[in-house]
Amino acid sequence: MTGRIAAIAIVLSAIVAGAAMYWMQVYAFYDRLPETTVLRVSTETGVQPLSLAAFEGIDANSSPLRFRACARLAEMTEVAHALPATDPDPLTAPGWFGCFDAEAIGTAIKRGEATAYLSEREIHRGVDRLIAVFPDGRAYAWHQLNGTLED
């Protein structure tokens, strides 16, 4: 009888621990960013702020790679002189952040339906912020490793 109780306790503990780890990875550390958050784009003359008509974003202090944002540009001309991103690869967002579909954004970039730009170099050590812009003004931003920490 005590063996059954011990086995049940172990199984229940594993279920609770697994659920807690899942919740912490997917929900706990993310914060919604205010609508007043500024996205920027890098040009040859420096970093310029973008005028946004709408913004929705998330970030977390637990990792510099957890930033994701969806926005609508007020002026498409602001990205005319932006530096192109090298090897853009959007990282997936949590399922509850529905506006950011990394697979669709990546496919659109590869097909030429969206253009990826360098938003800010070294936003964190070894991490760049990239932004993909569609012709209709939709913009999606994420953080990506830039390769400076390799070796």
Q: Domain map of the chain by residue range?
A: 31-145
Q: Average per-residue pLDDT in the chain?
A: 92
Where does the pLDDT of residue 106 fall: very low under 50, low under 70, confident under 90, or very high at 90 and above? very high
Task: Compute the distance between CA of residue 134 and CA of residue 32 in angstroms, rounded to an integer.
Answer: 23
With a threshold of 0.95, does the pTM exceed it? no
> What's the pLDDT score for residue 102?
97
Residue 124: Cβ within 10 Å count: 15
Question: Do residues 67 and 142 lie in contact, with contact meaning Cβ atoms separated by under 8 Å?
Answer: yes
The pLDDT score that the predictor gives to residue 26 is: 77
Q: What is the pLDDT of residues 62-96, one digit of tens each?
A: 889 999 999 999 998 999 899 999 999 999 999 99
Which residues, other chains included, contact 123 with Cβ-Cβ below 8 Å and sequence gap of 6+?
Answer: 64, 67, 129, 143
**Virtual torsion, Cα 25, 97, 33, 112, nearest 10 deg:** 120
Instruction: Indicate whether 98 pLDDT > 80.
Output: yes
CA distance 120 to 58: 17
- Does residue 151 register a pLDDT over 90? no
Provide the pLDDT confidence category of residue 138 given band limits of 50, 70 and 90.
Answer: very high
Percentage with pLDDT > 70 across the chain? 99
Over residues 21-39, the pLDDT tens digits come to: 988 877 778 889 988 889 9
Per-residue confidence band for 3, with pLDDT thresholds at 50, 70 and 90: confident
